[in-house]
Structure 1
Amino acid sequence: MASWPHQRALWAHRYHKYTHIAGKYWTFALKYLRIQWLKRQAGNRPFIAIILSEQMGDIIACEPVAREVRRRHPDGYIIWVVRQAYVDLVRHHPDLDGYLVEKCPSERVHLLRAGVFDQVYNLHISHRKCKYCPEDPVNPTADQIGLTFDNYYHRGDLLYMFSQAAGLPALTADPKMYIPETIRRQVAALNLPDRSIVIHCQSSHVARDWPAAHWNQLVRWLLDTYDCPVVEVGLQPVVTVRDPRFRNLCGQLSLLQTAEVIRNARLFIGIDSGPAHMANAVGTEGIILLGQLFDFVEYMPYSGRYKRGEGITILNNYGHPCAELPYDWVQEAAWQRLGQPKLV
């Protein structure tokens, strides 16, 4: 007989599963009605969906898709289908008429089957399922070109790959972020020192991370060597250095506030993550730490200026995970980017 903790975990899983599935059908019905209302508001304009609901870096990298879709459909009513956590990444885009919040990939399957969109640009690779729902999301265009989770980084950067998955040409444009004036004023009110070094140390996947001891050593060296303050952004802090010129903003900023902090930085140093894509999109010089990710040894996530090598140093000890990237490589790259120190 199963133990009580096992039984409790089983029933908790069943509760979350069935409440999620019931909620999915409810939100699908509401969104179906909302889309029909939006279509009436749009009149004769074609109703067009761009679908890329997650992850943060993917959405930022694929921003040029909105501009390309607007170019192709100048009179279209264009919305971006996105998860709630990433709404701000598309909310202010001048080429979008709106956005639709996705509950889960299965809900998206039902919306597509309902035929509510006149044109769909689906940037997702097939078979990224909801953990509770039985539906298996499929993107026939991605399947037709043989794009899978096992080979996607062998095919090019995120924009280059996902634009083709949507049936568009392989796009190569520089990504942009649209930061409203209200956000800029909010960040200005933080009174951060000018020209800070901004670091981001922890991603959503441990395979992308660099050791905490190295980050602490790097921050201590930066503060001892340069007169630049250092600011850490992200969800969870990694750096434990105590110094009046070090500022921990982890967990305190919205996505767009984080992008604005990075935009104002003298230099961004980080692992492959959403904030690294922000740095590329807002024009900040960067040092990006890469390493082997699954079977991907030599890969390039970024399009635009980072891919062209403009204002960027990308470090990759090929064949080794990011955790094994030598500390000296990062320190040397920072030295090269920051130049002759003012403090010795």
Structure 2
Amino acid sequence: MGGTNNPGAGAKRVLVIKLSALGDFVLALGAMRAIRGHHPKAILTLLTTPPYEELARATGFFQHIETDGRPKGVKATRELLKRLKSAKYDIVYDLQTSGRTGNYFKALNLPFSSPPLWSGNVEGAAFYHNTPHRGDLHSIDRLGEQLEIAGLGESDTKDTWPPMPDMSFVRRSQGNKPSLTPQYFGISGPFALLIPGASAHRSAKRWPVENYGGLARHIADAGVTPVIIGGKSESELAVEINRIEPRCRNIVTRTNLFQIVALAENAQFAVGNDTGPMHMAALSGCPGVALFATSESDPAKASPRGSQIIICEADTLDQLSVRDVWQAVRMLDRIPASAAGGQS
């Protein structure tokens, strides 16, 4: 379908698809901003899943947010496809590029139909992203290349390219609520974020809990409060870290996505596995140490961006010692001067 032109400012209705997961969603925020800039007059709709509705709404990019991007059952899928067809989108940006969203493309491109233009990794798309190196790119770079193929570029962001996510919308949308302060969680003085979670089905991406406990002891000895964040699945990990180092502040399950950003803005540094909140922390300007099991993921394609980040990697995370990670933390030069001298 060579020669197809992007409707740009002439588009009336545009759909963006991004279903999950948290880290991938956050890394796509720059691409979403570029799409908004390229279609300034369009009604922009996001098709996503429930966990990301509030965050997406706060960006201000979208007029409509639909959260049934992963319908359950034939009836719900049929209703979704019927709605997508009747919306008569001028162009669809598939930022998920999964088998599921590829099937949505095929359903909209049945014989005798009038499908929208499509940007994604599916054969037959008007803007088919099928470069040989696509799978070797970092998520931000891959999305940038996909949008370039669709006719977008640096002028759409008024910034550098590829489009970097920018978490400043959190402050713009949430203001200075008390719930966004460290004091809301009983935190005073310098603190650091510990992010011990990772995908529940990929336990190899988690640094051992006893190592987090040992690191927390170093951090607390340096006069910095270790603050553990995460979701329900990290509750037991947090309790064990807190048992090893009682000076930790355990606020697992107590933070929403906006509070994670606000805490990261104020933290001395963050240490975490390859997981969504670590990406959010880095994009909020928080220096950090990211821990990667190279048997599970490639830092070149998945490392946090946006701030000073040191990567500690090993084939499996149990091969990384507390000493390794503590030395990386010290390289960030974020330990208070009054305490740093005696640490080793």
User: Shift of residue 219 of structure 1?
Assistant: 0.8
Q: Is the 8 A contact 1:194 1:264 kept in 2?
A: no
Q: Quick one: which amino acid aligns to residue 127 of structure 1? A: G
Whether 1:173 aligns to 2:163 is yes
Task: Report what 1:19 is aligned to.
Answer: none
Task: Return the offset for 1:157.
Answer: 1.2
Taking structure 2 as the reference length, what is the TM-score of the superposition? 0.73
When the two structures are aligned, how many residues end up with a matched partner?
286
2:324 to 326, 329, 333: 329
**Alpha-carbon deviation of 1:192?**
1.9
Aligned residue identity for 1:250: V
| 1:138-183 Cα shifts (integer Å, max 9, x gaps) | 68731343479xx86x421112223444654585233112223357
The 3-state SS of whatever aligns with 2:306 is helix
1:145 alignment counterpart: 129
Partner of residue 272, structure 2:
270
For residues 2-81 of structure 1, the aligned pairs below 5 Å read: 46-81=12-47
Q: Relative to structure 1, is the Cα distance of residues 298 and 245 closer, same or farther in structure 2, using a 3 angstrom cutoff?
A: closer
Q: 1:120 to 1:47 in 2, by over 3 A?
A: same
Structure 1 pair 255–155 and aligned structure 2 pair: CA distance change class (3 A): same
**Do 2:284 and 2:306's aligned partners in 1 also have CA atoms closer than 8 Å?**
no
Distance 2:85 2:61 in 1: 26
Residue type of the alignment partner of 1:77: I
Which of residues 80, 85, 95 in structure 2 aligns to 1:123? Answer: 95
Give 1:52 deviation, angstroms. 0.5
Pairs within 5 Å for 1:200-239: 200-204=195-199, 205-224=202-221, 226-235=222-231, 236-237=234-235, 238-239=237-238
The alpha-carbon distance between structure 1 residues 293 and 48, as it changes in their structure 2 partners (threshold 3 A), is farther
Task: Give the distance between the partners of 1:214 and 1:147, measured in 2 at CA.
Answer: 41
Q: Distance in 2 between matches of 1:88 and 1:183?
A: 17
**TM-aligned CA distance change 1:288 to 1:110, over 3 Å:** farther
Which deviates more from structure 2 when the two are superposed, residues 113-122 or residues 52-61? 113-122
Measure the CA separation in 2 of the matches of 1:316 and 1:69: 34
1:200-226 CA-to-partner distances (Å, cap 9, x unmatched) read: 0011132321111111111122112x1
Percent pairwise identity? 19
C-alpha contact (below 8 Å) 2:14/2:43 kept by paired residues? yes
Partner Cα distance (1:334, 1:47) in 2 = 47
Name the SS of the counterpart of 1:300 in structure 2: helix
Partner of 1:186: 179
Q: Per the alignment, do residues 145 and 207 of structure 1 end up closer, same or farther by CA in structure 2, a change over 3 Å counting?
A: farther
Residue deviations 1:27-76 (CA, integer Å, cap 9, x gap) = xxxxxxxxxxxxxxxxx971111110211111111111122112211111
Match in the other structure for 1:21: none
For structure 1, which runs of at least 5 residues remain unmatched after alignment?
A: 1-43, 130-134
Shift, 1:245, TM fit: 3.5
- CA distances 1:277-301 after superposition (whole Å, capped 9, x unpaired): 111221111111112244x545332
Q: Could you tell me whether the CA contact under 8 Å between 2:95 and 2:120 is conserved in 1?
A: no
Q: Distance in 1 between matches of 2:95 and 2:177?
A: 30
TM-score by length of 1: 0.73
Deviation at residue 118 of structure 1 after TM alignment: 2.2
Q: Structure 1 residues 98 and 231 mapped into 2: Cα distance closer, same or farther (>3 Å)?
A: same
